[in-house]
Structure 1
Amino acid sequence: MRVASPALAFAAAVAGIAVFSGMDAIMKGLVLGIGAYSALFWRNLVGIAVSGVPYFARPRPKLTRAAMKLHASRAVITAVMSWLFFWGLARVPMAQAIALSHIAPLLALFLAAWLLGETVGRRTVLASLVAFAGVLVILAGQANTDMGPDAFRGAVAVLASALCYAFNIILMRRQSQLAGPGEIAFFQSLIVAGAYALGAPWLADWPSGFWIEIVGAAVLAVVSLGLLGWAYAHAPASTLAPSEYTAFVWASILGFVVFGEQLSIWTVAGAVLIIGGCLWAVTDRAAMPVAEAALP
C-alpha cells in the first residue's frame, strides 16, 4: 500500500464528510417525499450498480472470510442506523441532527471499553458528562421553540442512530485494513439493500419522480464511502476523528440554503458542548488506545 501523509488522509476524510453531508440533504428531501424506508431501499439498490461498476472493472484481491464477516456486520448495523437517522432527520433541522449525532465518537470509547477491554479514564467520564449536557441543551432548545412531539421523537431517533454509529466506528478501522474502499462501498450497498429488500414488498413505494435524487444520493454515498475508506486505510482513527465534526458546518450551510432552516443558539451551544466533550475525551491518555483498538 502506498503511504500517504496524515494531512492528505485528513483532507480526504473532510472531503468524504462534505460529500456525505450533501447526500444527507438529498436524502432529507427524499424522506419527506417518499418516506425513510423507500428512500433508503432505492438508494442502496441503485448504489449496488454505482459501486459495482468500478469494483468489478479492475483487478480485485481475493475476498476473505474475515472481510466478508466485517462487511456483513457493519452493513446490518448501517441498515438500522440509517433508518433511524433519516427518519429523525426529516423531523429536525439538519444542524441539530448532526450535532446530536456527534456524540457517537464518545459512545465509541465506552463501547470499546465494554467490547475490547479498553480503559476508560476519569477525563473520559467527565467529558461524557459535558457532551451529555450538550444533548440536554439541544433538547431544551426544542422545548423552548415548541417544535412539537414529532421533533422530540426525531431527536431520540438520531441519538439511537448515534449509538449504532458508535459500533460502526469500532468496525470501520478494522474493515479498512482488510478491504479496499471499492470493496467496502460495493458490499455495504449490496448487503444493506438486501436487508431492506426483506420488507420492501410491504414497506417500499415506487419512487415516481424522484429518480434523479435517488441516483444522486447513491453516487454521493459511494463517493463518500470511498473517500472515508481510503482515509481510514492511511491514517489512524485518532488522527481522523476530528474530521467528523466538520459535518456540523456543512449541515448548517445546507440546512439553511436547501431547507431554509435557521441555526438556533441552543443548537450551537449544544454542539459546542458535545464536540468539546468528545475532543476532550479522545485526548485522554487512558482512552487513546481506543482509536487503534479495531486494528487486526
Structure 2
Amino acid sequence: MSLRSHPLLPFAAALAGVGFLSLMDAFMKTAALMIGAYTATVLRALIGTALIAPVWLSRGPAMPSRAVLKLHLERGVVSAFMALSFFYSLTLLPLAEAIALSFIAPLIALYLARVLLDETIRAAAIGASVLGFAGTLVIVGGRIGEGQFDENAAWGIGAVFFSALLYAYNFIVIRRQAQVADPLEISTFHSGVGGLVLLTFAPFLWEAPTGAAVMPLVVSAVLTVCGSFLIAFAYARAEANVLVPTEYSGFVWAALFGWLFFREAVTVPTLAGTVLIVTGCWLATRPARPAENLSA
C-alpha cells in the first residue's frame, strides 16, 4: 500500500490542516490587534492569493467551467465574511473561547442541510443540538458569572455566532467543490475571491498597515494556503462525516497558542462548554441507524 492511498492519509491531512489554521488564527489575532480586523483580513487574503496563484497558473490549468466557477465564487463570498467576523471576534475574546463557540457550526449545518438539501434530521441530532446549545450557555454564563460579560464580549460572541452560521453553510459547499476542482485551484479562488469581495469596503474600513504587522500577515497567509490545501486534499478523498471530528482538535491548538502568544488561560466554563458542544457534534455526526431518521 502506497502512502498516497493509505486510509489514514485524509484524516492526517485534515488534522494537520486544522493545526495550521489554528496557528494562523493566533498570528491573525496579533495582526488584527495592530491594524484592525478588516485590514488584516483583506491583506491576508491578497498575500495568500499572490503566493498560491502563480503555483496554480504554472501548471497551465484550464479555466474552470461555469458551474465550477459558481462554486468558487459562492464559497469565496461566504468565506470572506466568515473570516472577517471571526477575526473581529478574536480581537474581543480569548482564542480558545472563540474557537469553542465556533464549534456549533456542524450542528447548524444539520439544519441548513434540511432546509437547503431536504435532508432528514435524525433523532440524535435533536439531542446533539440541545447539548450544543447548553455548551454555549455554559461558556457565556461563565463570563457573566465572572463579571466579564461587557459590551465587547457581547459583540465578540455575536461575531462568532455569525461566523459559525456562515461556516455551517461552508460545510455544504466545500464537499461539492472538492469533488470538481483540485486543491491548488480551490485555494487560489478561495483567497482571491474573498480578498476582492472584502476590498470593495476599503473606502469605509481600511486602516493603514504598520510595518510590524507585515510578518504576522505573511505568516498567516502562508498558513492559510497550507491549511486550505490540506483540507481540500482531505475532503476530496474522504467523506465529510469522517473528517468533521478533526475540527475539534482546533480547541487544543487554540488553548496552546492562546497561552503561548497572549498568556490566555482556559477557564473551567470554557472547557466544560467545549465538552458539551463537542459531545453534541459527535452524536450528530455518527452514522445513522434506520430507526433514527425523522422526517421533518
Both proteins in one fold, TM over 0.5: yes
Report the Cα distance in structure 2 between the residues aligned to 1:73 and 1:4, rounded to whole angstroms: 31
Q: Secondary structure at the match of 1:220?
A: helix
What is the CA RMSD across the aligned residues, in angstroms? 1.6
- Render the CA deviation track for 1:14-53: whole Å, top value 9, x for unaligned: 0000000010000101111111110011111111111112
Q: Secondary structure at the match of 1:63?
A: coil
- Residue in 2 that maps onto 1:293: none
Report the Cα distance in structure 1 between the residues aligned to 2:111 and 2:45, rounded to whole angstroms: 30
The yes-or-no answer on 1:130 pairing with 2:131 is yes
- Residue in 2 that maps onto 1:212: 215
Aligned amino acid, residue 107 of structure 1 = I
Note closer, same or farther for the CA distance 1:6–1:102 as it changes in structure 2 (3 Å cut): farther
The answer to whether the Cα contact below 8 Å between 1:3 and 1:234 also exists between their aligned partners in 2 is no
The answer to whether the Cα contact below 8 Å between 2:35 and 2:210 also exists between their aligned partners in 1 is no
Report the Cα distance in structure 1 between the residues aligned to 2:233 and 2:114, rounded to whole angstroms: 26
- Residue in 2 that maps onto 1:263: 266
4+ residue segments displaced more than 6 Å: none
- Residue in 1 that maps onto 2:160: 158
Q: Secondary structure at the match of 2:164?
A: helix
| C-alpha deviation, 1:121, in angstroms | 1.4
Report the Cα distance in structure 1 between the residues aligned to 2:204 and 2:141, rounded to whole angstroms: 37
Structure 1: which 5+ runs fail to align? Answer: 291-296
The answer to whether the Cα contact below 8 Å between 2:39 and 2:206 also exists between their aligned partners in 1 is yes
Report the Cα distance in structure 1 between the residues aligned to 2:108 and 2:246, rounded to whole angstroms: 17
Aligned amino acid, residue 46 of structure 2 = L
Counterpart mapping for 1:47-62 below 5 A? 47-62=48-63
Structure 2: which 5+ runs fail to align? Answer: none
Report the Cα distance in structure 1 between the residues aligned to 2:105 and 2:171, rounded to whole angstroms: 8
- Residue in 1 that maps onto 2:277: 274
- Residue in 1 that maps onto 2:175: 173
Aligned amino acid, residue 232 of structure 2 = G
Report the Cα distance in structure 2 between the residues aligned to 1:188 and 1:215, rounded to whole angstroms: 17
TM-score, scaled relative to structure 2: 0.93
Report the Cα distance in structure 1 between the residues aligned to 2:153 and 2:267, rounded to whole angstroms: 15
Percent identity (aligned): 43
Note closer, same or farther for the CA distance 1:286–1:198 as it changes in structure 2 (3 Å cut): farther
The answer to whether the Cα contact below 8 Å between 2:114 and 2:121 also exists between their aligned partners in 1 is yes
Counterpart mapping for 1:37-52 below 5 A? 37-52=38-53
| C-alpha deviation, 1:3, in angstroms | 6.7
Report the Cα distance in structure 2 between the residues aligned to 1:35 and 1:6, rounded to whole angstroms: 42
Report the Cα distance in structure 2 between the residues aligned to 1:39 and 1:124, rounded to whole angstroms: 37
| C-alpha deviation, 1:190, in angstroms | 1.1
- Render the CA deviation track for 1:47-69: whole Å, top value 9, x for unaligned: 11111121112242441111110
Counterpart mapping for 1:211-290 below 5 A? 211-283=214-286, 285=288
- Render the CA deviation track for 1:100-133: whole Å, top value 9, x for unaligned: 0011011111111111010001211111001100
- Residue in 2 that maps onto 1:107: 108
The answer to whether the Cα contact below 8 Å between 1:38 and 1:203 also exists between their aligned partners in 2 is yes
| C-alpha deviation, 1:286, in angstroms | 6.3
The answer to whether the Cα contact below 8 Å between 2:20 and 2:227 also exists between their aligned partners in 1 is yes
- Paired residues, what number? 287
- Render the CA deviation track for 1:81-110: whole Å, top value 9, x for unaligned: 111111111111111111100110111111
Aligned amino acid, residue 128 of structure 2 = A
- Residue in 1 that maps onto 2:151: 149
The answer to whether the Cα contact below 8 Å between 1:15 and 1:227 also exists between their aligned partners in 2 is yes
TM-score, scaled relative to structure 1: 0.93
The answer to whether the Cα contact below 8 Å between 1:138 and 1:266 also exists between their aligned partners in 2 is yes
Report the Cα distance in structure 1 between the residues aligned to 2:158 and 2:210, rounded to whole angstroms: 30
Report the Cα distance in structure 1 between the residues aligned to 2:236 and 2:4, rounded to whole angstroms: 10
